[in-house]
Amino acid sequence: MADPAVEMRGVSHRYTSDPVLRDIDLTIEQGEVFGFLGHNGAGKTTAVNILTTLLVPSAGTARVCGYDVVADRRKVTECIGYLPSDVRLYDHMTATENLEFFAKLSGVSDPRKAAAGTLDYLGSSDLGPLRMSTFSTGMRQRIGIAQAIVHQPRVLFLDEPTSGLDPTGVRQLRETISRLNGELGMTVFMNTHLLSEVARVCSTIGVLNHGELIYKDSMAKTTERFPNEASLEDIYERMESRPA
């Protein structure tokens, strides 16, 4: 049986005295689109920072694609793509130059071809020769996703990918995520506040409340479990209001 895409066992983290993550146990199978929900300060970004090897957890172990994020950092970085929130790339470089740079950092054998192919796949070839400084938020986000997938990772981490996007941008992002998952088989781990998008795109959801994972299940079972709720927002509020 294949290794889970993401596996966290007893992961805790603290920046100062207060813990940001508390004893998280989470498994995400390959091919899933996972929506990680939680209020501001719940610890979602910290969890992604640990899974993308940027942060060493204070306790517990985390594995991505079967590799430990601390002991096998290099192996983990080879199989992940990451788009932070509020993405900004090198303003003085063109979109293509940025993509080639990140492709080279990932050890892609033909960075030029990879950059052109990725832009073409996302329908953004027209942005390639333009400098990033001239881009709108939506355009930056498209190139941000392109840099995250230019080396064709197995697991894609998106941190608040819809922030700052207009409704058209949100729709395009939703379509992109569905395509990456459906056509390329990428596992997607998405931190978000936009619950309506989670309902449309994600196959599984998890809810983080003050550093604790209070809920995790498939979208199908979630809607089954909360049959009387009118929308995902209601389910989310009900889960968060439950005592931890």
Partner 1 sequence: MTRVIATQLLLTLRRQRTFLALLVTLLVMTALAGLIGWISHRTIFKVYDQAVLLLAKTGSPAPPNPFDTRPTLALLSNMVIYIPLIGALMALVLGHLSLADDESSGIGRMIFSRRVSRRNYVAGKMLGATTALAAIMAASLVVSVVSLLIVNGAILSAADLGRLVLFYLLSLTYLMAFALVGMVSVLLTRRRSMALLLALGVWLVLTFAIPQFTSGLRPTASLNPITDPVSTSQTFFDVTARARPLSVSEQYKEASTRILEIGTAESVSATTLRILPTGGLVLVLAALTVLLVDRHDYSRSSAHE
Note the residues at the interface with partner 1 (CB under 8 A). 20, 40-46, 49, 52-55, 74, 77-78, 80, 82-93, 97, 101-102, 104-107, 147-148, 157
Query: From the CB of 39, what's the least distance to partner 1, in Å?
Result: 9
Cα(43)–Cα(38) distance, integer angstroms: 8
Query: From the CB of 108, what's the least distance to partner 1, in Å?
Result: 10
Query: From the CB of 139, what's the least distance to partner 1, in Å?
Result: 16
Nearest by Cα to 204 from 194, 214, 192, 189: 189
Q: Degrees (nearest 5) of the Cα angle 223, 228, 232?
A: 45
Please identify, using beta-carbon distances, which residue of 15 and 225 lies nearer to partner 1.
15
Please identify, using beta-carbon distances, which residue of 99 and 173 lies nearer to partner 1.
99
Please identify, using beta-carbon distances, which residue of 16 and 228 lies nearer to partner 1.
16
Query: From the CB of 220, what's the least distance to partner 1, in Å?
Result: 28
Query: From the CB of 97, what's the least distance to partner 1, in Å?
Result: 7
Query: From the CB of 181, what's the least distance to partner 1, in Å?
Result: 20
What is the chain's percent helix, strand, coil content, to nearest 5? 40, 25, 35
Please identify, using beta-carbon distances, which residue of 143 and 201 lies nearer to partner 1.
143
Please identify, using beta-carbon distances, which residue of 86 and 110 lies nearer to partner 1.
86
Query: From the CB of 189, what's the least distance to partner 1, in Å?
Result: 13
Q: Degrees (nearest 5) of the Cα angle 125, 131, 136?
A: 80
Write out the two tokens for 134.
């001239």
Please identify, using beta-carbon distances, which residue of 93 and 199 lies nearer to partner 1.
93
Contact indicator for 95, 132 with CB cutoff of 8 Å: yes
Contact indicator for 206, 29 with CB cutoff of 8 Å: no
Query: Strand, coil or helix: what is 72?
Result: coil
Count H helices and E strands in the chain, helices first: 9, 10
Nearest by Cα to 182 from 78, 82, 32: 32
Please identify, using beta-carbon distances, which residue of 170 and 208 lies nearer to partner 1.
208
DSSP 32: -
Cα(123)–Cα(107) distance, integer angstroms: 24
